[in-house]
Structure 1
Amino acid sequence: MADDDTEIRGLVRELVTLSRRFRGNAERLHPDLSFVDYSLLSEMDARDGARATDLVGLYGLNKSTISRQVTALQRAGLVVREADPQDHRARLLRPSDLGRELLARADALMYREVDARTDGWAAGEVRALRGLLARYNAGASAVAADAPDS
């Protein structure tokens, strides 16, 4: 951990700015596509289908929240439910054809954004940033342990 609180504060500001940019990019693609929707579609696509329980665990949200998000995506025609070939009692969530099309457009925009912002960077710098972000994202969160009981 950094010794200087100023560095941590600065890092938090940069992470918030990064999140805001990604949310804004996703929302510009489709009036009803939030960054959360983009993130869920992206995860379903990357996993070649995901069960709702997988998403609950990944995002640390409760079942009803994921259910509402997925239902809204399904109503918008962006997600389909299919039988899980590993467990026929379970359902896999996958982006529909329309969902994959929208996701591809969102990804292209995200990639262009990152490419433009890293224009002139050496490949090693991009790789270093990716590695540091991966390390940060893999780290355990202390917030849940410190949160007061409700």
Structure 2
Amino acid sequence: MQVADGDPEILGLVRELVTLSRRFRANAERLHPDLSFVDYSLLSEMAERNGARAADLVGLYGINKSTISRQVAALHRAGLVVRAAAPDNRRVQLLHPSDRGRELLARADALMHREVDTRTDGWSPDEVRTLRSLLARYNTASSALPEES
């Protein structure tokens, strides 16, 4: 669906997405002060993938390699990340949350789940499923901007 610039529905959606993003970041940092939102995101991705290469994280987040390297180095210094050789290629290093990283991540996840549960209190399971489904669809859609003429 292509919409004209200034479409009130798209403008409203953008405002809601910005509000959601801002609220999620603020809540993440309030709910788990030991982890920044970026730390939480990186550790979550590493745990979900059962290890991630730095290049995987670069591609996923769309930021440059040096930024990911700095973030990972800080997590490593804090004792939240360990490196291990990939089982299929010993030259490739996979990043995993350390035991402490997993502990902080589990605590943060529990708090985040409670926050979402509170915000959706009174919603039907179908409403929660619909929101999840629509957000998943939005998040998997191509984000390439069309060429400007």
Structure-1-length-normalised TM-score = 0.90
What's the counterpart of residue 66 of structure 1? 68
Shift of the alpha carbon at 1:76?
A: 1.1
Off by >6 Å, runs of 4+ in structure 1: none
- In structure 2, relative to structure 1, the CA distance for the partners of 1:2 and 1:11 (3 Å cut) is farther
RMSD of Structure 2 on Structure 1 (CA): 1.7
Shift of the alpha carbon at 1:114?
A: 0.7
> What SS class does the counterpart of residue 27 from structure 1 fall into?
helix
Among 65, 79, 99, the residue aligned to 2:81: 79
Matching of residues 1-150 of structure 1 within 5 Å: 1=1, 3=3, 5-28=7-30, 29-31=32-34, 33-143=35-145, 146=147
C-alpha distance in structure 2 between counterparts of 1:49 and 1:142, whole Å = 27
Contact 1:25 1:109 in 2 (8 A): no
C-alpha distance in structure 1 between counterparts of 2:24 and 2:104, whole Å = 15
C-alpha distance in structure 2 between counterparts of 1:79 and 1:65, whole Å = 16
Contact 1:27 1:34 in 2 (8 A): yes
- Tell me the number of residue pairs that the alignment of Structure 1 and Structure 2 aligns: 145
Contact 1:82 1:93 in 2 (8 A): yes
Structure 2: gaps spanning 5 or more residues: none
C-alpha distance in structure 2 between counterparts of 1:77 and 1:121, whole Å = 39
Shift of the alpha carbon at 1:2?
A: 6.9
Contact 1:50 1:94 in 2 (8 A): yes
> What SS class does the counterpart of residue 80 from structure 1 fall into?
strand
Deviations 1:96-146 (CA, angstroms, capped at 9, x unpaired) = 111111111111111111101110111001000000000000100133x55
> What SS class does the counterpart of residue 142 from structure 2 fall into?
coil
Structure 1: gaps spanning 5 or more residues: none
Structure-2-length-normalised TM-score = 0.90
